[in-house]
Amino acid sequence: DAMVIQNPRYQVTQFGKPVTLSCSQTLNHNVMYWYQQKSSQAPKLLFHYYDKDFNNEADTPDNFQSRRPNTSFCFLDIRSPGLGDAAMYLCATSNRVGETQYFGPGTRLLVL
């Protein structure tokens, strides 16, 4: 089945230690998104790639970066995680911006 895969499902890191979360898709969608979701809140868009074009949200901290080496993979890099970055990180894809987004299962990040 076509799907969005996120690894790992749970990630523990130390305060200030860089961490990378990964997302892959078999849907062959053009757009890949990264969201941050904190407990009992709606997902908050961090940025997205339309093909190779990177689109950052205005309020996304510089601490968050992303890479998309090819159509299938997209990475979220947190350069210096703080305690406030502990959250669920969701990857989503869509064929075009403005169309239905399909989400992966998420990676729950814990910062010690």
Partner 1 sequence: GESVGLHLPTLSVQEGDNSIINCAYSNSASDYFIWYKQESGKGPQFIIDIRSNMDKRQGQRVTVLLNKTVKHLSLQIAATQPGDSAVYFCAENRNTGFQKLVFGTGTRLLVSP
Residues forming the site for partner 1 (CB under 8 A): 4, 6, 40-45, 59, 90, 92, 97-106, 108
Task: Report whether the peptide linkage leading into residue 105 is cis, meaning its omega lies within 30 degrees of zero.
Answer: no
Please identify, using beta-carbon distances, which residue of 15 and 54 lies nearer to partner 1. Answer: 54
Distance from C-alpha of 97 to C-alpha of 92, rounded to nearest angstrom: 11
- Block residue for tokens 């979701």: 37
Q: Are 26 and 72 in contact (CB under 8 A)?
A: yes
In whole angstroms, how close is the CB of 61 to partner 1 at the nearest point?
14
In whole angstroms, how close is the CB of 65 to partner 1 at the nearest point?
20
In whole angstroms, how close is the CB of 21 to partner 1 at the nearest point?
13
Please identify, using beta-carbon distances, which residue of 48 and 68 lies nearer to partner 1. Answer: 48
Please identify, using beta-carbon distances, which residue of 65 and 107 lies nearer to partner 1. Answer: 107
Please identify, using beta-carbon distances, which residue of 44 and 86 lies nearer to partner 1. Answer: 44
